[in-house]
């Protein structure tokens, strides 16, 4: 009996030991494989916080809704969750007629971080008055935000910010292309407007850089397939919008930007250098349109004396040598200009903002080693946005905030977004367009932005609904404090001037 009891005890003891070993193994496997799982974002979530700020001297209470909203495919399956931040002024009793601004950045593949925490939002990153990084990094109130006149939602397309596709089987091709991007974002905007009860609000789209391609296409897509009509589209540093400008036009259109950058770096003759920038640029624009483009159009058949005359004039306006211009057959590319203008001083200049200087490994070469302005911006924006979501908006996640996300290959075929915008304007008498450009932007130059505006409506019938504002800064003109105030006020005025008032019919 003793032996039997001992034997049973031994078996029970062994079983207990085995259970402990198995439990330990399960814990180890859970830790090993659990933490190796992909970081994911819930496709439908919200976090709400309340805040107070001062805009143009007036106290403004507001709430911020941060979270994700689904994207569905044509089978009503969730295929992505788009991350957004929605700011609403809370002392407005009835938002029926309160404007809503829907904001997109560009890339493609760029998060909405840039305009969100540096331009129109209620909080902006800490930088100096010219836009350069300073430490300690952080966030401060934006005294010029447009939140006093409009609610704002900042949208991150798929794979930007915290936005992600859902499921391994999701087809990337439904997101990554000019027209694919426009189609699914229009559906998303419809859902957002419905969920937040904003159908009666006057609506505005604002896009920066590639975001201007996006919002130009969205204007027509929302109108024709979501039956949503806009009051305004704001194009910040616009792309070409599918408007052609090859050959002589493309080459000649660069000269006004060259002149602006050379003026900033004091590389022009005293008579030009002492002129106000905009006055000087009027002269250069006139030359580019009326003399330079016709000369370049003649190519190798341009008479030698005229070729020399044009090269001298280009050197006069651009700050680079006549010899370099002749070596490029009067067709001076922007890459070469960024490398050449300050080559003797040992610097390059920035692509998106030519006020910024860079240092290359060698003075020789045809293009800079890196984009000096972008490295500076990432220096200040990245810590600020990551701090802001966690500490101010209480949005906590292990997912990485993609400043630039994987969206390639991007299908650029079928870009008719300029024509899309024209059609939307023609069909909607309420719709107005404001273009904002920095004179020192060498990627999407201010003169090409003007050219867009001139070509957008060939008839000229709608030109009173198209307007342009220029700033003494670059691609993100709002990084310079003087232009942060001016550019926000320009948007504020645009919104106020494009509200038609009660009972004003949309008709010609």
pLDDT score at 286: 98
Per-residue pLDDT of 402-429, as tens digits, reads 999 999 999 999 999 999 999 999 999 9
User: Quick one: pLDDT at residue 7?
Assistant: 43
Query: Rounded CA gap, 508 and 488, in Å?
Result: 30
Report whether pLDDT(190) > 60: yes
Predicted confidence (pLDDT) per residue in 13-29, tens digit: 554 545 444 444 443 43
* pLDDT tens digit sequence for 41-99: 899 999 999 999 999 999 999 999 999 999 999 999 999 999 999 999 999 999 889 99
Q: pLDDT tens for residues 438-475?
A: 999 999 999 999 999 999 999 999 999 999 999 999 99
Q: How far apart are CA 401 and CA 111, in angstroms?
A: 8
Mean pLDDT over 247-253 rounds to 97
**pLDDT given at position 13:** 54
The per-residue pLDDT for 167 is: 82
Q: Most distant CA pair in the chain: distance in Å?
A: 122
Contact between residue 362 and residue 373 where contact means Cβ atoms under 8 Å apart: no
What kind of architecture, by CATH, is found in domain 46-243+381-497?
3-Layer(aba) Sandwich (3.40)
% pLDDT > 70, the chain: 92
481 to 101, 206, 476, 490: CA distances (angstroms): 22, 20, 11, 14
By mean pLDDT, which of 26-40, 156-170, 293-307 is the weakest?
26-40
Q: What are 352-387's pLDDT values in tens digits?
A: 999 999 999 999 999 999 888 888 888 899 999 999
Q: How far is CA 57 from CA 87, 142, 199, 489, in A?
A: 19, 11, 30, 14
Residue 101 DSSP label: E
Reply yes or no on whether the pLDDT at 31 is more than 60. Answer: no
pLDDT class of 168 with cuts at 50, 70, 90:
confident
pLDDT at 41: 83
pTM for the whole thing? 0.91
The H or E element that residue 5 is part of is helix 2-34
Residue 477: predicted pLDDT: 97
Give the number of other CB atoms < 10 A from CB of residue 134.
Answer: 12
Secondary structure class of 361 (helix, strand, coil): coil
Instruction: Indicate the burial class of 63 (C-beta count within 10 angstroms; 0-12, 13-18, 19 or more).
Output: middle
| Rounded Cα–Cα distance for residues 296 and 276 (Å) | 28
What pLDDT is attached to residue 4?
A: 36
Indicate the domain borders of the chain: 1-37, 46-243+381-497
Q: Give the rounded percent of residues in the chain with a pLDDT score beyond 90.
A: 86
What pLDDT was estimated at residue 24? Answer: 45
Cα R_g (the chain), whole angstroms: 27
The number of beta carbons lying within 10 Å of the beta carbon of residue 284 is 25
Neighbours of 228 (CB within 10 A): 17
pLDDT of 376 reads 87
pLDDT at 148 over 60: yes
pLDDT tens-digit map of 477-502? 999 999 999 999 999 999 999 998 88
Q: Please, what is the end-to-end C-alpha distance for the chain in angstroms? A: 107
pLDDT at site 157: 97
d(CA 376, CA 378): 6
Please provide residue 351's backbone torsions phi and psi, each rounded to the nearest 5 degrees.
-80, -55
Mean pLDDT computed over 252-268: 98
pLDDT, tens only, 204-226: 999 999 999 999 999 999 999 99
Residue 288: DSSP 8-state: I
Mean pLDDT of the chain: 92
Closest CA to 367 of 412, 341, 335, 399: 335
């Amino acid at each position: 009996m003793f032996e039997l009891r001992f034997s049973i005890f031994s078996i029970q003891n062994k079983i207990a030991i085995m259970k402990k070993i198995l439990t330990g193994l399960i814990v180890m496997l859970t830790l090993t494989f659990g933490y190796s799982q992909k970081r994911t974002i819930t496709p439908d979530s919200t976090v709400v916080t309340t805040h107070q700020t001062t805009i143009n001297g007036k106290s403004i209470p507001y709430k911020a809704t941060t979270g994700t909203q689904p994207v569905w495919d044509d089978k009503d399956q969730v295929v992505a969750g788009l991350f957004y931040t929605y700011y609403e002024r809370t002392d407005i009793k009835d938002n029926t007629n309160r404007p809503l601004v829907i904001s997109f950045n560009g890339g493609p593949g760029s998060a909405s971080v840039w305009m969100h925490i540096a331009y129109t939002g209620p909080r902006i990153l800490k930088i100096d008055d010219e836009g350069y990084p300073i430490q300690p990094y952080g966030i401060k109130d934006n005294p010029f935000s447009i939140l006093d006149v409009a609610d704002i939602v900042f949208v991150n397309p798929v794979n930007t910010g915290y936005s992600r596709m859902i499921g391994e089987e999701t087809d990337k091709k439904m997101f990554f292309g000019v027209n694919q991007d426009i189609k699914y974002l229009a559906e998303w905007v419809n859902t957002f407007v419905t969920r937040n009860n904003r159908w009666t609000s006057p609506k505005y789209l604002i896009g920066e850089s590639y975001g201007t391609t996006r919002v130009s296409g969205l204007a027509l897509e929302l109108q024709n397939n979501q039956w949503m009509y806009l009051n305004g589209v704001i194009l910040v540093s616009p792309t070409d919008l599918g408007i052609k400008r090859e050959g002589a036009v493309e080459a000649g259109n660069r000269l006004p930007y060259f002149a602006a950058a050379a003026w900033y770096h004091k590389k022009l003759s005293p008579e030009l250098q002492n002129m106000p920038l905009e006055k000087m640029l009027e002269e250069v624009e006139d030359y580019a349109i009326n003399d330079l483009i016709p000369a370049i159009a003649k190519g190798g058949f341009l008479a030698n004396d005229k070729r020399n005359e044009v090269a001298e004039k280009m050197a006069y306006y651009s700050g680079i040598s006549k010899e370099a211009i002749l070596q490029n057959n009067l067709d001076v590319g922007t890459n070469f200009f960024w490398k050449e203008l300050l080559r003797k001083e040992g610097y390059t200049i920035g692509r998106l903002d030519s006020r910024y200087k860079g240092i290359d490994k060698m003075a020789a070469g045809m293009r800079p080693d890196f984009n000096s302005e972008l490295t500076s911006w990432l220096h200040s924006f990245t810590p600020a946005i990551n701090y802001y979501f966690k500490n101010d908006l209480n949005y906590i996640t292990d997912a990485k905030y993609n400043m630039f996300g994987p969206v390639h290959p991007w299908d650029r075929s079928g870009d008719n977004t300029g024509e899309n915008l024209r059609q939307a304007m023609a069909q909607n008498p309420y719709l107005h367009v404001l273009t904002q450009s920095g004179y020192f932007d060498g990627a999407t130059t201010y003169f090409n932005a003007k050219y867009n505006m001139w070509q957008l409506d060939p008839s000229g019938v709608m030109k009173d609904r198209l307007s342009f504002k220029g700033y003494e800064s670059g691609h993100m003109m709002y990084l310079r404090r003087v232009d942060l105030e001016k550019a926000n006020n320009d948007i504020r005025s645009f919104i106020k001037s494009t509200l038609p008032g009660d009972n004003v019919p949309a008709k010609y």
